[in-house]
Amino acid sequence: MLFSFRKIFRPTKRSRVTVSRSGVGYSYRLGPVRFTRNANGSRTKTLHTPIKGLTYRRTRRR
């Protein structure tokens, strides 16, 4: 049986740090743009638009 572990910290209002079994990831937001780096090293940039449900996402693998 596998157990999972994840703890999320909010150091500031616009940032988040996630600690899990696979590593540490973080994300922060600057206006409509969110920058994310997950535990396996890939980076994602997400742009939110005023139109509900319409976002632009670009992911770069390690």
Q: Say how far apart CA 31 and CA 17 lie, in whole Å.
A: 18
Q: How many domains does the structure of the chain reveal?
A: 1
Q: Are 33 and 44 in contact (CB under 8 A)?
A: no
Residue 46 lies in a domain: yes
Residue 4 lies in a domain: no
Selection from 53, 48, 45 nearest residue 37 by Cα: 45
Residue 26 lies in a domain: no
pLDDT along the chain (62 residues), means of 10: 87 94 94 94 94 93 80
Residue 57 lies in a domain: yes
Residue 43 lies in a domain: yes
Q: Are 59 and 46 in contact (CB under 8 A)?
A: no
Residue 9 lies in a domain: no
Residue 6 lies in a domain: no
Domain containing 44: what range? 32-62
Strand partners, 46: 34, 57
